[in-house]
Structure 1
Amino acid sequence: MYRETIHHATGVAEGTANERHATRLLTTAARRGHAVEFTPAGGALITWTRHLFGRSEGSVVRAERSISLEPLMPVGALSTTTRMDLALIAGDRHAHYAEKGGRRVVAGLTWEIPAFTTAKLRARGMVVEEEDRLRLSLTARLGLLAQQHRTRTTAPEGWYRPSAADPYGSAGLNRPGGRAGMLRDGGSAATCSCGALSAWGGDRDEARRLTLAHRRAVAAAFITEHLAPVPTPAAAPCNCGGCAACMTG
């Protein structure tokens, strides 16, 4: 379950969303090209921009809209062992609950997760039972992905004094404020823990934009590839001012 917060045309609406509804929101957002980011807690943030007519003739106003999904039971930090257990469940379509010594365990064709660990996974809402088989919950899948893609930017070096061997060492000799003979480096590196992002921004804001674009690209690819679209009836948007189902207000 998720706590759903919608920022729409007429204000803010709050409520709860089950996994099916959350999946529908994510697939609808991806289909419409809205930006999606996953959170390490197992939630998501959907954002988009509406262009509305302003009060003066010909003017256009940008209106930001968003839907946030915060899990009622956050994923929390995932240890290496927990990641391995979740990978076993996700990769085996025969994963199911079984009994061993009077206690419930998760078992597959050739593996088994101990009863104590099984109880922890169930208590944290990481697994869902469907038709006598187990799968990872949406919260677990989003949290895993977000924690696999932790981005960072480096602080710019700023003003520095070049070495004698630097061919540009004479630059800035007449700079005031005690900066004579110094150069400035405002660049910032943008990286991701997945290793797929290693870029350089002209300043830290640019580097942050690079990391944001990477996280959004990862989320869009995951939704498109792994979340089956939920069919929606072909109907005109309602008059709520932009509800989660419409995602147009």
Structure 2
Amino acid sequence: MFRETIHHSSGGSVGTASEQHATMLLTTARRRGYDVEFTPAGGALITWTRHLFGPGEGSVVRAERSIELEPVTPVGALSATTRLDLHLIAGDRHARYVEKDGRRVISGLLWEIPAFTTARLGARGLVVEDGDQLRLSLTARLALLAQQHRTRTTPPQGWYRPPASDPYGSAGLNRPGGRAGMLRDGGSAATCSCGALSGWGGDRDEARRLTRDHRRAVAAAFVSEHLVYVPPSVAARCDCGSCAECVTG
């Protein structure tokens, strides 16, 4: 379950969204070319721009719009052990709840998660039952994605005094404020923990744009490749609820 906050021209509105509704919002946003970003808490932010006619003849006004999906139960920090457990569940279609010694555990084809850990995964909303099978919740999948793509920018070096061997060392001899003979470097590096982003911005704002564009590209690929929205009317006619034939009607 998500807390859905919509920002529009007349202010904002707050409501709740089921996982199915959140999936519909994300897939629709991707189809329309809106920007999508994920959050470490297991949520998402959808943003887009509408162009409206302004008061003057032929004038156009840009109107920013956004939908924020915040999980009612934030995922929180995911330890290496928890991530391993989640990957086990996600990669095994035989994952399900079973009773063992009077306690419920998560069991796969060749593995088993202890009862205490099973209870914690359920209490944090990281796993949900889908029929007799078990799968990761949307919040868990978004949080895992956020942990795989932690971006950062470095602070610019700023003013510095170049070495005597630098041919540009004499630049700025007449600069006031004690900056005579100094050069300024405003560049900032942009990196991601996934290793796919290693860029350089002329300033920190440009570096932040590089990290934001990377996160949006990753989110767009995730939605396109891994999320499928099945309308309730279609799901009611289908045994599996996610096959291509059912989704296309």
Task: Output the TM-score relative to the length of structure 1.
Answer: 0.91
Q: Which residue of 1 aligns with 2:181?
A: 181
Q: Which residue of 2 aligns with 1:238?
A: none
- Is the aligned partner of 1:83 residue 2:83? yes
Question: Runs ≥4 in structure 1, deviation > 4 angstroms?
Answer: none
**Rounded Cα–Cα distance in structure 2 between residues aligned with 1:19 and 1:229:** 10
- Counting only pairs closer than 5 Å after superposition, residues 128-143 of structure 1 correspond to structure 2 as 128-143=128-143
**Rounded Cα–Cα distance in structure 1 between residues aligned with 2:163 and 2:22:** 56
Q: Which residue of 2 aligns with 1:28?
A: 28
Indicate if the aligned counterparts of 2:161 and 2:181 stay in contact, CA closer than 8 A: yes
**Rounded Cα–Cα distance in structure 1 between residues aligned with 2:11 and 2:101:** 55
Indicate if the aligned counterparts of 2:155 and 2:204 stay in contact, CA closer than 8 A: yes
Task: Output the TM-score relative to the length of structure 2.
Answer: 0.91
Give the AA of the match of 1:160: Y
Change in Cα spacing, 1:232 to 1:159, as seen in structure 2 (3 Å) is farther
Indicate if the aligned counterparts of 1:2 and 1:17 stay in contact, CA closer than 8 A: yes
**Runs of at least 5 residues in structure 2 that lack an aligned partner in the other structure:** 234-249
- Is the aligned partner of 1:11 residue 2:43? no
**Rounded Cα–Cα distance in structure 1 between residues aligned with 2:8 and 2:124:** 32
**Rounded Cα–Cα distance in structure 2 between residues aligned with 1:220 and 1:31:** 10
Give the AA of the match of 1:208: R
Indicate if the aligned counterparts of 1:44 and 1:68 stay in contact, CA closer than 8 A: yes
Tell me the SS of whatever aligns to 1:217. Answer: helix
**Rounded Cα–Cα distance in structure 2 between residues aligned with 1:118 and 1:181:** 64
Q: Deviations over 1:29-66 (max 9, x none)?
A: 00000000100000011000001111011111110000
Tell me the SS of whatever aligns to 1:89. Answer: helix
**Rounded Cα–Cα distance in structure 1 between residues aligned with 2:165 and 2:29:** 54
**Rounded Cα–Cα distance in structure 1 between residues aligned with 2:67 and 2:135:** 26
**Rounded Cα–Cα distance in structure 1 between residues aligned with 2:232 and 2:194:** 34
Q: Which residue of 1 aligns with 2:102?
A: 102
Give the AA of the match of 1:12: G
**Rounded Cα–Cα distance in structure 1 between residues aligned with 2:106 and 2:229:** 28
Indicate if the aligned counterparts of 1:162 and 1:183 stay in contact, CA closer than 8 A: yes
Change in Cα spacing, 1:44 to 1:222, as seen in structure 2 (3 Å) is same
Q: Which residue of 2 aligns with 1:191?
A: 191
RMSD (CA atoms):
1.3
- Is the aligned partner of 1:202 residue 2:202? yes
**Runs of at least 5 residues in structure 1 that lack an aligned partner in the other structure:** 234-249
Identity of aligned residues (%): 80
What number of residue pairs does the alignment pair up?
233
**Rounded Cα–Cα distance in structure 1 between residues aligned with 2:11 and 2:171:** 54
